[in-house]
A and B are shown apart, each in its own frame.
Chain A
Amino acid sequence: MNETTAVLESRAYIFWYGPAQALHDISCAIPTNAITALIGPSGCGKTTFLRSINRMHDLTPGVRHSGDIQLDAESIFAPGTDVVALRQRVGMVFQRPNPFPKPVYDNVAYGPRLNVLAPPRELPDRVERALRQAALWDEVKDRLREPGTALSGGQQQRLCIARALANEPEMLLLDEPCSALDPIATQRIEELLVELKQTYTIVIVTHNMQQAARVSDYTGFFYVGHLVEFGTTQQVFTRPTDERTEAYITGRFG
Chain B
Amino acid sequence: MTGRALRRHITSRVMTVLVIALSFTAVLALVLILGNLVLKGASSIDWAFFTKSPVPAGQSGGGVANAIVGTGIIVGVAALIGVPLGVGAGIYLAEYGSGRLGFLVRFVADVLNGTPSIVIGIVGWTFIVKPSGHFSALAGSVALAILMIPMLARTTEEMVRLVPHSLREAALALGYPRWRTSLKIVARTALGGIVTGCLVGIARIAGETAPLLFTALGNLNFSVHVTQPMQALSLQIYVYATGPFEDWHRLAWASALVLMGLVLIISLLARWVTRQRYGSIR
Interface residues of A (CB under 8 A from B): 54, 56, 59, 61, 83-88, 91-92, 94, 96, 98-101, 110-111, 114-115, 147, 149-150, 160, 163-164, 167
Q: Give 26 pairs: A residue, B residue, CB < 8 Å, sorted on A.
A: A56-B169, A59-B172, A59-B178, A61-B98, A84-B177, A85-B175, A87-B172, A88-B175, A94-B166, A94-B170, A94-B173, A98-B166, A98-B167, A98-B170, A100-B167, A100-B170, A110-B171, A111-B174, A111-B175, A114-B174, A114-B175, A114-B180, A147-B280, A163-B170, A163-B174, A167-B174
Q: Are B174 and A87 in contact (CB under 8 A)?
A: yes
Q: Does B30 make an interface contact (CB < 8 A)? A: no
Q: Report the separation of the CA atoms of residues A99 and B171 in the bound assembly, to the nearest whole angstrom.
A: 10
Q: Report the separation of the CA atoms of residues A83 and B173 in the bound assembly, to the nearest whole angstrom.
A: 10
Q: Are B166 and A87 in contact (CB under 8 A)?
A: no
Q: Does B185 make an interface contact (CB < 8 A)? A: yes
Q: Does B189 make an interface contact (CB < 8 A)? A: yes
Contact string, B256-280, partner A, CB cutoff 8 A, digits 1/0? Answer: 0000000000000000000000001
Chain A residues with CB under 8 A of B281: 101, 147, 149
For the complex formed, measure the closest distance between the CB of B190 and the CB atoms of chain A, giving whole angstroms. Answer: 10
Q: Does B58 make an interface contact (CB < 8 A)? A: no
Chain A residues with CB under 8 A of B92: none
For the complex formed, measure the closest distance between the CB of A47 and the CB atoms of chain B, giving whole angstroms. Answer: 12
Chain A residues with CB under 8 A of B180: 114
Contacts A56-B169, A149-B281 given; indicate if A98 touches B164 (C-beta within 8 A): yes
Q: Report the separation of the CA atoms of residues A83 and B180 in the bound assembly, to the nearest whole angstrom.
A: 14
How many chain-B residues does the 8 Å CB contact rule pick out? Answer: 20
**Partner among B170, B175, B280 whose Cβ is within 8 Å of the Cβ of A160:** B170
Chain A residues with CB under 8 A of B177: 84
For the complex formed, measure the closest distance between the CB of B173 and the CB atoms of chain A, giving whole angstroms. Answer: 4
Q: Are A115 and B173 in contact (CB under 8 A)?
A: no
Q: Does B176 make an interface contact (CB < 8 A)? A: yes
- Give chain A's interface secondary structure class: helix
Interface residues of B (CB under 8 A from A): 98, 164, 166-167, 169-178, 180, 185, 189, 280-282
For the complex formed, measure the closest distance between the CB of A183 and the CB atoms of chain B, giving whole angstroms. Answer: 23
Q: Name which residue of chain B comes closest to A99, CB basis.
A: B170
For the complex formed, measure the closest distance between the CB of A172 and the CB atoms of chain B, giving whole angstroms. Answer: 11
Interface centre among B172, B174, B185 (most CB of A within 10 A): B174
Interface pairs A-B: 5 shortest CB-CB: A98-B166, A92-B173, A87-B175, A88-B175, A84-B175
Q: Report the separation of the CA atoms of residues A167 and B173 in the bound assembly, to the nearest whole angstrom.
A: 10
Chain A residues with CB under 8 A of B178: 59
Interface centre among B170, B177, B180, B281 (most CB of A within 10 A): B170
**Partner among B164, B166, B176 whose Cβ is within 8 Å of the Cβ of A114:** B176
Interface centre among B166, B173, B176, B281 (most CB of A within 10 A): B173
Q: Are B173 and A54 in contact (CB under 8 A)?
A: yes
Chain A residues with CB under 8 A of B280: 101, 147
Contacts A98-B164, A100-B189, A101-B281 given; indicate if A56 touches B173 (C-beta within 8 A): yes
Chain A residues with CB under 8 A of B174: 87-88, 91, 110-111, 114, 163-164, 167
Chain B residues with CB under 8 A of A163: 170, 174
Q: Report the separation of the CA atoms of residues A115 and B122 in the bound assembly, to the nearest whole angstrom.
A: 51
Chain B residues with CB under 8 A of A56: 169, 172-173
Q: Report the separation of the CA atoms of residues A122 and B224 in the bound assembly, to the nearest whole angstrom.
A: 51
Chain B residues with CB under 8 A of A59: 172, 178
For the complex formed, measure the closest distance between the CB of A146 and the CB atoms of chain B, giving whole angstroms. Answer: 10
For the complex formed, measure the closest distance between the CB of A59 and the CB atoms of chain B, giving whole angstroms. Answer: 7
Chain A residues with CB under 8 A of B189: 100-101
Chain B residues with CB under 8 A of A100: 167, 170-171, 185, 189
Q: Are A164 and B175 in contact (CB under 8 A)?
A: no
Chain B residues with CB under 8 A of A88: 174-175
Chain B residues with CB under 8 A of A91: 173-174
